[in-house]
Structure 1
Amino acid sequence: MAKKIYNYKNLSELAIRLRDDLKTADFILLYAHNGTGKTRVSMEFKEQGKKNKQKQADTLYFNAFTEDLFSWDNDIINDKERVLKINSASKFFSGFQELELENRIRPFLNRYADFDFSIDYDKWQISFSRQVRVKTNVKGEVQEKTETVNSIKVSRGEENMFIWCVFLAICQLAIDGAEAYNWVKYFYIDDPISSLDDNNAIAVASDLSQLLLQAEGKIKVVVSSHHILFYNVVCNEIKKKPHEKYFLYKKADQSYSLRKTTDTPYFHHVALLSELNEATVSGNIKTYHFNILRSILEKTSSFFGFNDFGKCIYNVEDEVLFERALNLLSHGKHSIYEPVDMNDDNKELFKRILGAFLDKHQFELPELLKDSRAERMGYDR
Structure 2
Amino acid sequence: MAATNTFADLSALAQHLRTELEEKKFVLLYAYNGTGKTRLSMAFKDVGKHGEGEDATRDTLYFNAFTEDLFTWDNDLEGDSARVLKMNATSRFFVGLETMEMENRIRPFLHRYADFDFSIDYNDWTIHFSRDAQVGELIQAVDDIKVSRGEENLFIWCFFLAIVQLAMDGAEAYQWVKYIYIDDPITSLDEHNAIAVGSHLAQFLRRKDHAIKTIISSHHTLFFNVLWNELREIAHKKFAPHFLSHTRKTGEYHLSYTGDTPFFHHLTLLQEIWRAKEAGEIYTHHFNALRSLLEKSSIFHGHKKFTVCIKQQDDDQDDTLYGRLVNILSHGNYSFYDPVEMLPENKAHFEKILADFLEFYPFNPELMPATQEQETTP
Q: How many Å apart are 1:215 and its aligned residue?
A: 5.5
Q: Is 2:293 the counterpart of 1:233?
A: no
Whole-angstrom distance in 1 between the partners of 2:161 and 2:77: 32
Aligned residues of 2:168 and 2:210 also touching (Cα < 8 A): no
- 2:188 corresponds in structure 1 to 195
Larger radius of gyration: 1
Go from structure 1 to structure 2 and tell me whether the alpha carbon gap of 1:112 and 1:173 turns closer, same or farther (over 3 Å shift).
Answer: same
Question: Percent same amino acid among aligned pairs?
Answer: 57
Whole-angstrom distance in 1 between the partners of 2:265 and 2:51: 36
Whole-angstrom distance in 2 between the partners of 1:105 and 1:159: 13
**1:35-184 mapped onto 2 (5 Å cutoff):** 35-51=34-50, 55-135=56-136, 144-184=137-177
Whole-angstrom distance in 1 between the partners of 2:231 and 2:35: 24
- 2:350 corresponds in structure 1 to none
Alignment: residue pair count: 265
**1:187 corresponds to which letter in structure 2?**
I
- 2:364 corresponds in structure 1 to 304
Q: How many Å apart are 1:160 and its aligned residue?
A: 0.6
Q: Is 2:253 the counterpart of 1:256?
A: yes
Which stretches in structure 1 are left out of the alignment for 5+ residues?
136-143, 270-302, 308-381
- 1:283 corresponds in structure 2 to none
**1:161 corresponds to which letter in structure 2?**
L
Whole-angstrom distance in 2 between the partners of 1:105 and 1:188: 19
**1:118 corresponds to which letter in structure 2?**
S
Go from structure 1 to structure 2 and tell me whether the alpha carbon gap of 1:220 and 1:206 turns closer, same or farther (over 3 Å shift).
Answer: same
Whole-angstrom distance in 1 between the partners of 2:147 and 2:154: 10
Whole-angstrom distance in 2 between the partners of 1:267 and 1:15: 27
Whole-angstrom distance in 1 between the partners of 2:18 and 2:93: 21
**CA displacement 1:5-41 (0-9 Å, x = unmatched):** 0001110000000000000000000001111111010
- 2:30 corresponds in structure 1 to 31
Q: How many Å apart are 1:233 and its aligned residue?
A: 1.0
Whole-angstrom distance in 1 between the partners of 2:183 and 2:79: 37
SS in 1 for 2:244: strand
Whole-angstrom distance in 1 between the partners of 2:23 and 2:56: 23
SS in 2 for 1:265: coil
Aligned residues of 1:94 and 1:181 also touching (Cα < 8 A): no
**1:204 corresponds to which letter in structure 2?**
V
TM-score by length of structure 2 reads 0.67
SS in 2 for 1:177: coil
- 1:358 corresponds in structure 2 to none
Q: Is 2:19 the counterpart of 1:20?
A: yes
- 2:243 corresponds in structure 1 to 247
Aligned residues of 2:88 and 2:125 also touching (Cα < 8 A): yes
**1:257 corresponds to which letter in structure 2?**
H
Q: How many Å apart are 1:217 and its aligned residue?
A: 4.6
Stretches (4+) displaced over 6 A: none
Whole-angstrom distance in 2 between the partners of 1:216 and 1:32: 31
Go from structure 1 to structure 2 and tell me whether the alpha carbon gap of 1:227 and 1:215 turns closer, same or farther (over 3 Å shift).
Answer: farther
SS in 2 for 1:118: strand
**CA displacement 1:171-213 (0-9 Å, x = unmatched):** 1110011111111110000000213212111110111111111
Whole-angstrom distance in 2 between the partners of 1:37 and 1:305: 38
Which stretches in structure 2 are left out of the alignment for 5+ residues?
267-362, 368-378
Aligned residues of 1:83 and 1:125 also touching (Cα < 8 A): yes
SS in 1 for 2:99: coil
